[in-house]
Structure 1
Amino acid sequence: MSDDSLRSIEMTRLEKGRYEATNPRGGRLAVGQGGTDETFTPVELLLVAIAGCGAIDVDLITAKRSEPTRFDVRVHGDKIRDEQGNRMTNLVLSFDVEFPDDEAGRAAYDVLPRAVQQSHDRLCTVSRTVELGTPVESRIG
């Protein structure tokens, strides 16, 4: 793959069950095992990634017509353990979007369903990767 296609983060242990992820631009994000502090768990980060990817796609398409007056996105699912191990099922991405009641707002509403579908079917790298089941290779060193 080319350098243009490479995406990466680095993660450093801060203490038992608590880590800091850093992106190549210097952004930092606290990650934890969950339930004890404000850090996001890895599963929550997966949900954030799905929501963020879809939201960006839909926002970039609809905002060409009108700025939303409300733009909320939710993702939920069930964490299960079965013969395949721990995993998420029943993932649902929901958009709650409102535009002004004018011509531009109606134009944005008109493209909203198609924008959501395009994000799902081909634009969102995160949900496409999850749905297609891309293998993850684990290494030491």
Structure 2
Amino acid sequence: MKIEMQRVNEDYLFEAKGKSGVPILIDNTVNGVSKGASPMELLLMGVGGCSAIDVIHILKKQRQEITHYSIEVDGNREVVKEAKPFKTINVHITLEGNITPEKAIRAAELSFEKYCSVSITLEKSVIVNYEITLNSVKIV
């Protein structure tokens, strides 16, 4: 897997593209107005996107009817030398539809423990927690 990045302006704005060719803007979000996501935001988006694709795929295979899916990913950072890596990442999945709670729980377990390459890549250095709300009821 490979990506390419090109600097767009005289500061920190970059345009990144992967195999799909879809451009993603990356910028320094610390000072002033940002025109793109920060690298750390992109990491959280990667965790969220990877697990969302897994969970939806698993539930669709089980013929579960998903009428709404949203995800919130929050990272807690710590200072290590001059860097601020994530110490924990908390994922909150919100599902609505005709979905069996046990199947939703199992889909998330499979994603985070077996299929999600992003969270599995991070698991040696970051604790990834998740919770699920199904039809307005917290089930995990």
Interval containing the TM-score (normalised by the shorter chain): 0.7 to 0.9
TM-score of the aligned structures, taking structure 2 as reference length:
0.79
Cα distance in 1 for partners of 2:78, 2:124 equals 19
1:75-115 deviations in Å (ceiling 9; x for gaps):
10123313483211221111111113xxxx33xx3311111
Count of residue pairs brought into register by the alignment = 121
Aligned sequence identity (%): 28
The answer as to whether partners of 2:73 and 2:91 remain within 8 angstroms in 1 is yes
Q: Structure 2: where are the runs of 5+ without partners?
A: 126-140
Cα distance in 2 for partners of 1:121, 1:19 equals 33
User: Alpha-carbon deviation of 1:129?
Assistant: 0.2
Q: Which structure has the greater CA radius of gyration? A: 1
**Structure with the bigger percentage of helix:** 1
Aligned structure 1 segments of 4 or more residues deviating by more than 6 angstroms: none
- How big is the alpha-carbon RMSD for the aligned residues of Structure 1 and Structure 2? 1.7
1:59 to 33, 36, 56: 56
Cα distance in 2 for partners of 1:78, 1:132 equals 16
Alignment of 1:103-114 (within 5 A): 105-106=99-100, 109-114=101-106
Cα distance in 2 for partners of 1:91, 1:119 equals 15
Cα distance in 2 for partners of 1:61, 1:84 equals 40
Q: Structure 1: where are the runs of 5+ without partners?
A: 1-6, 134-141
